[in-house]
Amino acid sequence: MEQRPTLSAIAEKLARGLAVALALFVALAPFVILFLNSLRPSDEFLSDSAGLVPSHLTFEHYAEIFDPSGDTLRYVINSLIITSASTVLAVVFGALAAYALARLKLPFKLSMIIGVLFLVIRFYPKITVALPYFLLMRQFHLLDTHLAVIIAHVSLTVPFVVWLLLAFFEDFPRELEQSAMLDGCGPLRRFVLIVLPLTTPALAAAAVLTAFLSWNEFLMASSVAPNVATTLPVRISGFITDKGIEWGSMSAMSSVVVVPVALFALFTQRYLARGLTVGAVKG
């Protein structure tokens, strides 16, 4: 249809553009405000006259967080330790389990049960588990340790990893594995030497997904690690109970939680989208 763009077509394009711009604004403005506030000097938060942009930028809040002699660096380190360990363990355990599920010829009933199990794990209130888990950790004298949080995070994310990787392993070319079998490889060597090196994109997606979930996780971490092993998300929530909210510190700390994740998300967007839509669209 060769026509000169009609007035309504132009208006429509304009409206469309405006709508998208509005959506972007709503989505991103809060982040901007967060960053600006994290660079705002403390006294400006209480004064009514301060504008949207800080009068001058200050890094004092960040300095406070990363001060080695201070208190808050600990939280960053805890989060790093817990997220790294959880990601590694969840991907390893999950990949092994997914491979086993893909290769074991399970009776249909059993694989249906496992499928239902995953669904259940995705959808029940984690709070149901958090309380007894707290008691369990107390029983094992693991309260307030990194290990307690790591175990919790791994148990939460392994089902996702398995779900994500199962299809990949099932679709893995059988002849390559048959060749490896004839070369004398048992399941472990086949898995490590042949299958894993050739499924790195899927493993990367699983690792990214797990890292996100662990870094942002609040409930389990706050249930079992209120002090020593506390993570950043827990610490952030702790601000509200303090007298006189330190907006600057809170903004800075929130930024530390948010920025790595945001940057990571921008770079790995494809993996994230794939991880989320696996199974959802195929239905």
Partner 1 sequence: MERPSYGRSGWLGQFEARVGETGILLLFLVPSLVVVGFAQLYPLASSAYISFFDWTLSRSPVIGPFVGGANYARTFSDPVFAGSLLYTIAFALISTALQLVFGLAIALLTLGERLTLRLTRTLIMLPMVIAPVAVGTIWRMILSGRVGPLNRALAAIGIDGPDWLGNPNWARISLILIDAWEWTPFAVIILTAALTSLPSDVLRAASVDGAGRWKTLRYIVLPMILPVIMLVAMFRLIDGLLTLDIVFTTTAGGPGYATHTLSFWIYQQGLRYFNMSYAAAASWVLLLACVVVAAVFLVWRRRIMAWQVATRS
Partner 2 sequence: MASVTLEGVGKAFGPVHAVNELNLSIRDGEFMSLLGPSGCGKTTTLNMIAGLETPTSGTIRIGDRDVTRVPAMHRDIAMVFQSYALYPHMSVARNMGFALKIQGLAEGEINTRVQRAAEMLSLTELLDRYPRQLSGGQRQRVALGRALVRDPEVFLLDEPLSNLDAVLRVQTRAELSRLFKTLGTTAVYVTHDQSEAMTMSDRIAVFSAGRLQQVGEPLEIYRAPVNKFVAGFVGSPPMTFLTAVVTDSGELAVGELRFPLPAGTTAARPGDAVTLGLRPEDVTLGADGIPATADIVEHLGSLQIIHVNAGGHRILSQVADAETIRRGDTVRLGINPRQLYLFSAGTGEALFTPGSLARTHPYTLEKTL
Looking at residues 23 to 62 of the shown chain, list those that interact with partner 1 (rule: CB under 8 A). 23-24, 26-28, 30-31, 33-34, 37, 45-46, 48, 50, 52
Q: How far is CA 208 from the centre of its chain?
A: 7
Q: Is 178 helix (H, G, I), strand (E, B) or coil?
A: helix
- Number of amino acids touching partner 1 (CB under 8 A): 95
276 part of the interface to partner 1, by CB under 8 A = yes
Using alpha carbons, select from 251, 214, 223, 271 the residue that is nearest to residue 84: 214
Binding mask 128-167 for partner 2 (x = CB under 8 A): ----------------------------------------
Burial grade of 107 (CB within 10 A; 0-12, 13-18, 19 or more)? exposed
20 part of the interface to partner 1, by CB under 8 A = yes
96 part of the interface to partner 1, by CB under 8 A = yes
Q: Which range in 8-16, 65-73, 194-202, 265-273 contacts partner 2 by CB under 8 A?
A: 194-202
Q: How many Cα atoms sit within 13 Å of 254 on the Cβ side?
A: 20
186 part of the interface to partner 2, by CB under 8 A = yes
Interface residue with partner 1, options 5, 68, 107, 132 (CB under 8 A):
132
User: Which of partner 2, partner 1, none binds 179 (CB below 5-8 Å, type-dependent)?
Assistant: partner 2
Q: Take residue 47 and report the two structure tokens written for it.
A: 């004064």
User: Which of partner 1, partner 2, none binds 18 (CB below 5-8 Å, type-dependent)?
Assistant: none
Binders of partner 1 in range 140-159 (CB under 8 A): 151-152, 154-156, 158-159
Q: Which range in 17-25, 31-39, 189-197, 273-281 contacts partner 2 by CB under 8 A?
A: 189-197
- Minimum distance from CB of 132 to partner 2 (Å)? 43
Q: How many Cα atoms sit within 13 Å of 7 on the Cβ side?
A: 0
198 part of the interface to partner 2, by CB under 8 A = yes
250 part of the interface to partner 1, by CB under 8 A = yes
181 part of the interface to partner 2, by CB under 8 A = yes
8 Å CB contact between 174 and 165: no
User: Which of partner 1, partner 2, none binds 198 (CB below 5-8 Å, type-dependent)?
Assistant: partner 2
In whole angstroms, what is the distance from residue 16 CA to residue 11 CA?
8
Interface residue with partner 1, options 9, 120, 198, 228 (CB under 8 A):
120
Interface residue with partner 2, options 51, 107, 132, 184 (CB under 8 A):
184
Q: What are phi and psi of 65, to 5 degrees?
A: -65, -40
- Minimum distance from CB of 195 to partner 2 (Å)? 11
Rg of the chain taking only CA atoms, in angstroms = 24
In whole angstroms, what is the distance from residue 50 CA to residue 39 CA?
13
In whole angstroms, what is the distance from residue 211 CA to residue 180 CA?
32
Give 227-271 as a DSSP string.
Answer: STT--HHHHHHHGGGSSS--HHHHHHHHHHHHHHHHHHHHHTHHH
Binding site for partner 2 (CB under 8 A): 173, 175-176, 178-186, 189, 194, 197-198
